[in-house]
Amino acid sequence: MIYNPVVKDWEKRLNDAIMNVTLKHRGNSNEEMLYKALPLLIHDKKVYRVKELGENIAVVQQLIWGWWKHRYLVDNYHCRAYEIMDESMDFVHFTHDDIDWASIEQLPDCAKLRARELSAQFPTFVRPFKNGVAEVGWQLNPDGRYYMDEDSYGMTSDVEITVYGFIDARMNVLVKFRYIGKDYGRLQDMRHEAESILRSRTIKCCDEGGKHDKEY
């Protein structure tokens, strides 16, 4: 686990804010309480920033060791927030079941180890939402330029290795993370698959309970 006193202080203040919100809003889900707590820290722009992803979804980015990391997904439509990764840059919401292990079997051991550790240490991004789903790029190994310093020294022979998955606004993985190499055309097929899964879940929910089409 990586220790960063600045991050730890931010986490403590967030936890205190959540506790205060919890006392005022008993009965709300954890996602709803987190949504109410996050704005209490919005003034500290040195630590985090907010990026809009479309469809009333945003991501809260936190500065950790000099990198802006995607820490929280915010659903402004349903007033919920979800933790993407923790302060150690390990995924919180995703699990081993969300990975297409057969597709990464060919990858170097270091990349497979980071997948097993659910480590998001290297650049990892939630892309804009469209039709209720978003692409997530999870880098398991960076390009050698990642290690360069300001004087252009330190570059290695590493090759970038990224796996891709698709999620909905509640951080459910609709299409598992898989390695596609440079065959980026497959991302469109994965998106269509994710949108189809989301539509089928919405229809099933409406058939069973007549709930709002975005609740399932």
Mean pLDDT of 51-76: 95
Over range 66-73, report the average pLDDT.
93
Q: Is the pLDDT of residue 11 over 80?
A: no
57-64: strand order across its sheet: 48-54, 57-64, 67-75, 80-83
Q: Tell me what pLDDT residue 15 has.
A: 60
With respect to residue 30, please indicate whether it lies within any of the assigned structural domains: yes
> Average model confidence (pLDDT) for the chain?
83
Domain contains 215: no
Q: Which residue has the higher pLDDT, 22 or 12?
A: 12
Structural domain of 118? 5-209
Is position 214 within any domain? no
Q: Which is nearest to 214 in space by CA: 167, 176, 171, 168?
A: 168
Query: Is the confidence at residue 25, as pLDDT, over 50?
Result: no
Structure confidence at residue 43 (pLDDT) = 66
Q: How far is CA 168 from CA 13, 62, 65, in A?
A: 28, 21, 29
* Residue 46 neighbours by CB distance under 10 Å: 9
The tens digit of pLDDT for each residue in 78-128 reads: 999 999 999 899 999 999 999 999 999 999 999 999 999 999 999 999 999
- Does the pLDDT of residue 152 top 90, yes or no? no
Domain membership of residue 16 (yes or no) is: yes
Q: Note whether residue 74 is domain-resident.
A: yes
Query: Helix (H, G, I), strand (E, B), or coil: what is residue 192?
Result: helix
Pick 3 or 196 by higher pLDDT. Answer: 196
The predicted pLDDT at position 205 comes to: 62
Q: Is the pLDDT of residue 144 over 70?
A: no
User: How many domains is the chain built from?
Assistant: 1
